[in-house]
Amino acid sequence: MAKRAAKIGVFIALAMILSYLEAILPLNIGIPGVKLGLSNIVVVVSLYSLTVPETAGISLIRILLMGILFGNAVSLVYSLSGGALSLVGMIICKRLRLSVIGVSIVGAVLHNVAQLAAAVVILQSSAIGYYLPILLISGLVTGFLIGIASDRLIFLEKKLNIQQKP
């Protein structure tokens, strides 16, 4: 039990560190709002090594803490909507036995879709919908990259767990 609690704590800390790094070292590719989503590595890996409630808790705590420490109410709404839809989609895709990379891509795309939907509600304008194709493409690319990293980490974690057993 203590080992599991420690693992969850480490995952939350890693997710926050990766979020913070991404905030201070933004990847500027000329498209406003597009981020790699480094903290999603932690969410994807935890989805494969912890329970769904534990993964949801990690995601929620990271979003809330980062929003309180470095964001505002609007950014918190965007992050919560993106994180929630993304996680639900990833859980479903994992249960459908999509690859880790596929799960990550779906999560990234749904994160962007949810944030765009939140923007439509907050701004009370559907005109921002023109941005959807850009966000879909960026979700595919970033989800693929995060999926590759997550897949390798999941493989390494399984390998280490196998080696540790007597």
The Cα 63–Cα 61 span in angstroms is 5
The distance between the two most distant Cα atoms of the chain, rounded to a whole number of Å, is 60
Per DSSP, the three-state class of 165 is coil
Per residue in 47-59, is it b (16+ CB within 10 Å) or e — as a string?
bbbbeeebbbbbb
pLDDT of residue 1: 82
Cα distance between residue 59 and residue 39, in whole Å: 9
89 closest CA partner among 47, 141, 121, 32: 47
pLDDT at 165: 57
Residues in the chain: 166
% the chain with pLDDT above 70: 92
Q: Give the DSSP letter string of 63-112.
A: HHHHHHHH--HHHHHHHHHHHHHHHHHHHHHHHTT--HHHHHHHHHHHHH
Q: Which residue has the higher pLDDT, 164 or 77?
A: 77
Distance CA(36)–CA(166), nearest Å, equals 39
Name the pLDDT band for 131 (thresholds 50, 70, 90). confident
pLDDT of residue 35: 81
* Cα distance between residue 108 and residue 43, in whole Å: 11
User: Which domains does the chain possess?
Assistant: 2-164 (1.10.1760.20)
Give the span between the Cα atoms of 105 and 139, in whole angstroms: 7
